[in-house]
Amino acid sequence: MEMTSTSLKRGCLVVEDNDSVTPHDETKKQKVSEGCLASSQDGVENDGLHHSENEPGPPEAESTMKDDENSSAQVQEEEEEEEEEDGLSEAGEEEEAESFADMMKHGLTELDVGICKFVSSHHGFSGILKERYSDFVVHEIGKDGRISHLDDLSVPMDEEDPPEDALTVLTAEDRQQLEELQLFKNKETSVAIEVIEDTKEKRTVIHQAIKSLFPGLETKTEDREGRKYIVAYHAAGKKALAKVRAAADPRKHSWPKSRGSYCHFVLYKENKDTMDAINVLSKYLRVKPNIFSYMGTKDKRAITVQEIAVLKISAQRLAHLNKCLMNLKLGNFSYQKTPLKLGALQGNHFTVVLRNITGTDEQVQQAMQSLRETGFINYYGMQRFGTTAVPTYQVGRAILQNSWTEVMDLILKPRSGAEKGYLVKCREEWAKTKDPASALKKLPVKRCVEGQLLRGLSKYGMKNIVSAFGIIPRNNRLMYIHSYQSYVWNTMVSRRIEEYGLRSVPGDLVLKGATPTYIEEDDVDNYSIHDVVMPLPGFDVIYPKHKISEAYREMLAADNLDIDNMRHTIRDYSLSGAYRRIIIRPQSVSWEVVAYDDPKIPLFNTDVDNLEGKPPPVFASEGKYRALKMDFSLPPSTYATMAIREVLKMDTSIKNQTQLNTSWLR
C-alpha cells in the first residue's frame, strides 16, 4: 500500500516485494506457482486507477490495462475525471491531523494475519528497512534467467527511422496546432508551417516529424507568395483517424513492415510504481496506456529495473523522453514481434540495505546462512491486508458470505488509521447521511475504490449493492477475496509448522508437475519441507490428510463458509484455489556489513550511477552506524519483506516499523 509522501520518509515497510502471479480465475492452468495467485499490488493501479492507501489494488497477475467489466459509458466517465485528478496538488496528501506514527497505532500486526512462526534459531536483531527508497533495489529476472539491467542508452537505428531532428524541429506552438488538428479540435482543415531554412533536407525532416508524431495527418509542400510551407491535413476524415488511434492498431500506417511491431526496453524508475510510470510515458507520447505490456508490477518505494514492451512506438521516440523525464530512464532498446506477458518471468533480484542494525557480526552471519540454507516461511506479506483498522480480508470474507451490506459498510465506514483528509471527510459524510451522492462530493479523486462504490450506489440504488460494487474494476474486487485466501493460508501454515515442524510428514501435499499428490508413509524420506505445498481454499483443490485438513474446515466454518462449496452465486467470486510452497529458499544470497556515518549517503551504486561512471562507495572500517547489505533472488509472488523478517526476527508490520523508525529518527 502506498502511504503519503510524509509517511514514506519514515521508512515504512510499504512494498509489494515480488510480482506477476496468475489471476485467480486462471489458476487451473498454473497451479504449480511457487507463490500463488494474484499478488497484491497495493500500489499497482488499474489503467491509471487511484485507490486509497488502505484499499487493495488489482492483482498483478491480471493485465492492469484491461477492465472488461467497465461499460463504454463508464470508461468515458472515468476519462473525463482524469483531468480533474491530474490537477490535484500534493496538499491532500499532507493533511495529517496527527502524526503518522500515532495513526498507525490502529494498524494491523503480523499476528492479526496469521504470521507468527520462524524457521531459524538465531537471535534476532533490529534494523530499518527503506529508510531511503534507494535502499531497496529490484531487478527483474526473465524466463531465461537474465537479470534486467539498464546499461545501454543507445538507439537501434534503421533506414525507416526519421532523423533525430524530427523530434525537435517543431515548435511548441506547431505541436499544439497539429494536435488540435489531429483531434478535430481546430476549425481549420489544415495547419501550415513555414519552412524558414528552405532546403529539401529541412522539408523532409518536417514531413517526417509530423507523420511520426501525429498519426492520421498527411503533409504536402506548397508555395505561397514565394515562401515554402509544409501543410498538414487529414487524408481520410474522422473514420480513418478513429481507426489509426484505436489502441489495438496505433500507427499502423507508418510502421515499417520489416521491423517487429513491439519496441522492448528496460525501464529504470525511482519511487514510482509501474502503472504510474506507464501513465507518465503514455501522456508524453500521447497514447493509451494499454499499448504497453510488462511481466510484473514493481514496488513504488524502491528503485526498480524491469522490461517493458510498447506497440509501434520507435526506440528513437522513447529515447527522446530521457531528456524530459525525472526519476525514469529508458534504455536497452530492441524491436520484437511479440509483447510481454504478465507472469512470464523467473522472479526478481533484490539488493536491500538494512540500516542501523544492532546485531553482532556473528548474529548476522547465522541469520544470513540460515536464510541461504533453510529459507523462510512463504507468508503473504503485510501489504496484502491493508494498513488500517479494516483489513482487506474482512471485505473478502463478507463477499464470500454474500453479506453485501457489510461489504458496503466495511469499505465506506469511518475507520482509524492513516488516511488522506478527503477520505476521512467522505467517510464522515457517509456515516452521517448514508447518501452516496453527498459523500461523493467530498472526494476530489473519484476514481478511488470508495468513489467508484459511491458512484455505483448513486447509479443503481442502495438496494442493489451487488451491481454498485461491480462498477469497481474486476481486479480490485477480486483482490479482496484473494486477501481472505491469503489470510487463511498464512494461518494454516503457522498451524502446520507448529504441529509438524520443518519436516515432511505423511499426508502432506507435494506437486508432481501441476498435479498435487499426497506423501505416503513409505515415501516420506524422499521429500523435504521445501517440497511441501499448502492449498489456498477453493473448489478445485485438495487438502492435506492430517490434522491441518480439519483446521481448514474449522476456520472456514467459523467464518460461515462451507469448505465443500466454494462456488459463489456470482461466478467472479467463486474460488478455485491454488497451491503455494510453504518454505522458499532464496537464490544467489550474499551479504556484507558496512560502516557509515551519514544516514543520507547511498551504500551502493544503481544502474544509473554506473552509466554515469560514478565510483562505488568506499566504506571506513569504523563508523557511527552499521548496515547490512544483502542480495538475493526470489521467485514470483514471494515477499522480500518475509525474507527480511526471518533475518531480523522482527514484526514487519507498518505499525511496528513506524514506531521503530520514528524513535530512530528522533
- Catalytic residues, by residue number, are 299
DSSP string for 636-665: TT--HHHHHHHHHT---SHHHHHHHHHHHH
Question: Residue 306 pairs with which residues in a beta bridge?
Answer: 267
For residue 173 the three cell numbers come to 506552438
Cα 193 to Cα 203: distance, rounded to the nearest angstrom: 10
How many other C-beta atoms are found inside a 10 Å radius of the C-beta of residue 136? Answer: 25
How many helices (H) and strands (E) are present in the chain, helices listed first? 20, 18
How many other C-beta atoms are found inside a 10 Å radius of the C-beta of residue 71? Answer: 10
Q: Which own/partner contact pairs does 361-369 have at CB distance under 8 Å and 24+ positions apart?
A: 361/593, 363/122, 363/123, 363/125, 364/125, 364/591, 364/593, 364/628, 366/120, 366/122, 366/123, 367/120, 367/122, 367/124, 367/125, 367/646, 367/647, 367/648, 367/649, 368/589, 368/591, 368/630, 368/647
Coil, helix or strand at residue 338: coil
Instruction: Pick left, alpha or beta for residue 356 (phi over 0 → left; psi -120 to 50 → alpha; otherwise beta).
Output: left
Containing H/E element for 447?
A: none
Residue 511 half-sphere exposure toward CB, CA atoms < 13 A = 18
Question: Residue 220 pairs with which residues in a beta bridge?
Answer: 231
- The number of residues making up the chain comes to 666
Cα 17 to Cα 7: distance, rounded to the nearest angstrom: 19
Question: Residue 581 pairs with which residues in a beta bridge?
Answer: 533
Q: Which residue has the cell 565510483?
A: 615
| CA max distance for the chain | 97
Residues contacting residue 172 through CB under 8 Å, at least 6 positions apart = none
Q: How would you classify the pairing of strands 345-355 and 578-581?
A: unpaired
Cα 476 to Cα 487: distance, rounded to the nearest angstrom: 17
Kindly report the backbone phi and psi dihedral angles of residue 163, in degrees, each rounded to the nearest multiple of 5, phi listed first: -65, 160
Coil, helix or strand at residue 467: helix
Cα 404 to Cα 470: distance, rounded to the nearest angstrom: 12
| Cα separation values, 236 from 243, 244, 449, 472, Å | 11, 11, 41, 38
Question: Residue 533 pairs with which residues in a beta bridge?
Answer: 509, 581
Residue type at position 583: I
Containing H/E element for 72?
A: helix 72-86
Coil, helix or strand at residue 607: helix
Answer yes or no: are the C-beta atoms of 627 and 353 closer than 8 Å.
yes
